[in-house]
Amino acid sequence: MLRLLFLLLPNLVFSQASLIDYPHPFHSTYTNSGIVVSQNYLSSDIGKAILDKGGNAVDAAIAVGFSLTATLPRAGNIGGGGFMQVFIEKDKTVITIDFRSMAPKLATREFYQEAKEKDDDVTRKGYKAIAVPGTVAGLFKAHELYGTIPMSDLIQPTIDLLEQGIPITQDLYLAINKGRYIQNDHESNKIYKENLSLGGKLKIADLVKTLKIIQVSGRDGFYKGEIADLIHEQMIINDGLIRKEDLASYEVNLYQPIRTSYRGNKVFAMGAPSGGGIVVLTALNVLECFQLSQLTPNSARTYHLIAEAMKFAHHNRAKYVGDPSFSKIPYDMLLSKKLACEKAREINLKKASSPKQTARTGSKINDSYKESKDTTHYSIVDKDGNAVSVTYTLGYSFGSGVTIPGTGILTNNQMNNFAHSYGIDDSYFRSSSPANKLEPLKRPMSTMTPVMVFDAEGSLKLITGSPGGSQIPGVILQVLINNLEFNLDIGAASMVPRIHQDSQSLSLEYEKFLSDDTLRILESYGHKLELSDTMGSTQSIEIIDGMRFGYADLRRPNAKVSVQ
């Protein structure tokens, strides 16, 4: 018997060694039941707890949406807005919910053009920068459509967290210290900066009060009554533009997602007022005209083709995309496969094209349309296969910097996302886009786009999304290409070094750890390279034969995959 054991041992050891080897270090977390992926570990756990109680993916998404206003205050919000994509497995329904922030009725181009002459930051900080928030309305609309657990139960975990105190991690500590505009606001300073200590606790008593009002009074508890009165009063005191009537009249919009096909897969994205969905789908259409599978995901040729496709796609969103309630969006043209392949034929495989840099005067315009990277995304699939993909934002980190006294509500600066230079400069820049010009009660264009991918048989295959401002579409595009074209699993697909190319920039931005050889080849093609910070923070779920594989991007700390 002992002899037999010694004879078997070498084979046993070899077998075990081979079993624990992996092709790369970016391991997903998997389950055949419910899964939640968000940018904060506490919020992911809250979503999982809702699934454990029998809630569906929408219930979990609502709970996560409320919780991030406490756990990730620089981006999570009830004072901002965003987009949600929902898939219901039973009847294969896919819808998008637009709860984007909206311009107040008093907001006009003339008002902001005059204000920006005195202070160019007027649309970025303070009360004039705040658009009517849509998040609470969006979460209640999702619950009205698909929720199964009482709304008060979905809000309670956030109240519990706030009463216990949110742990001040290094990430939260640094974010508060670097918060661009919160130092300008007395209330925000009192909440976030006073007594700030690494490892301490963040408690916001007024936010607890607000959430308890919403628990009892529902959506009207936010958009009417005491909270609306406080917002209205502070707006008047501080020369802001939002009034009670704006809050009371805010409506959530429901749309069909826009879509394209790629290598037999169906890719669903957010339509207008998202420009991000247009960019992702347009770029996919261009890239499908090339045989990328003959390349590798991190080759110079692959990055070059992605960059060229992105120039065309970003140009389209800059020129044609705005609030669909105010202008017709030419989807047939923008998503045309024929037009995309015509554009692909114009791409030189070894030479970078030059984006337009000048207006008709020949002088470069200082484009003031700056998109913040401080957004957040989360993805959820429940045990029954229902799925939710959500991207929402305050705009800049901590939004406008303003917290409405008596409410704990940190507010957005989404008035910055309109094209405020429209009518002044006949330029190529987004700041003068006619489709995104400011009009009262209009929603500004956004690059946010939750994405879902289905295989040829209609089965859900992939959910993803990302923060990152103008980098969002490129980040998502590269995850999709890495997964759908190069067959990388979601961990590897997420961690390939990224590039960013806009239609309005001379530079191709790149992440650290692109190889020197790749960079030299890109330079030889004529790309002007610029080293970037990390790009995006995708929170993704891949589904293979019913198994759900979640991956939280390593580019930002404290993200987590929580599974049942």
> pLDDT tens, 377-402?
999 999 999 999 999 999 999 999 99
Rounded Cα–Cα distance for residues 83 and 448 (Å)? 7
Decide: 250 and 244 in contact? Cβ < 8 Å: no
Q: Give the model's pLDDT for residue 372.
A: 64
What average pLDDT does range 318-347 have in this prediction? 95
What's the mean pLDDT in 50-57?
A: 98
For residue 552, give the H/E element and its range: strand 547-552
For residue 210, pLDDT beyond 90:
yes
Task: Label residue 364 by pLDDT band (50, 70, 90).
Answer: very low
Least confident of 342-346, 390-394, 426-430, 531-535: 426-430
Arithmetic mean of pLDDT, 69-87: 97
What confidence category does residue 179 fall into, taking pLDDT thresholds of 50, 70 and 90? Answer: confident
The DSSP secondary structure of 495-542, one letter per residue, reads: HS--EE--TT-SEEEE-TT--HHHHHHHHHTT-EEEE-S-----EEEE
Q: Is the pLDDT of residue 369 over 90?
A: no
Q: What is the pLDDT of residue 355?
A: 65
Position 128 scores a pLDDT of 98
Q: Of 71, 96, 135, 375, which one is the catalytic site residue?
A: 375
Q: Is 96 a catalytic residue?
A: no
Reported as half-sphere exposure (CB side, CA atoms, 13 A), residue 228 has a value of 19
pLDDT at 365 over 50: no
Torsion region of 358: left, alpha or beta (phi above 0 gives left; psi -120 to 50 gives alpha):
beta
pLDDT for 228-260, tens place per residue? 999 999 999 999 999 999 999 999 999 999 999
Domains and CATH numbers, the chain: 43-362+369-563 (3.60.20.40)
Residues forming beta bridges with residue 507, ordered by sequence position: 528
Average pLDDT over residues 253-274: 98
Can you give the pLDDT at residue 16?
52
How confident is the model at residue 21, as a pLDDT?
83
The per-residue pLDDT for 505 is 81
Query: Taking 80 as the threshold, does the pLDDT of residue 15 lie above it?
Result: no
pLDDT at 368 over 50: no
Model pLDDT for residues 495-543, shown as the tens digit of each residue? 999 999 998 788 999 999 999 999 999 999 999 999 999 999 999 999 9
Q: What is the model's pLDDT at position 430?
A: 60
Lowest mean pLDDT among 118-122, 205-209, 393-397: 118-122
Of the candidates 25, 37, 74, the residue with the CA atom closest to the CA atom of residue 537: 37
Report which of 219, 72, 76, 43 is spatially closest to residue 143, judged by C-alpha positions.
219
pLDDT at residue 9 in the model: 44
314 pLDDT tier (thresholds 50, 70, 90): very high
Please say whether the beta carbons of 63 and 46 come within 8 A: yes
Mean pLDDT over the full length of the chain: 92
Sign of CA dihedral 480, 96, 43, 543: negative
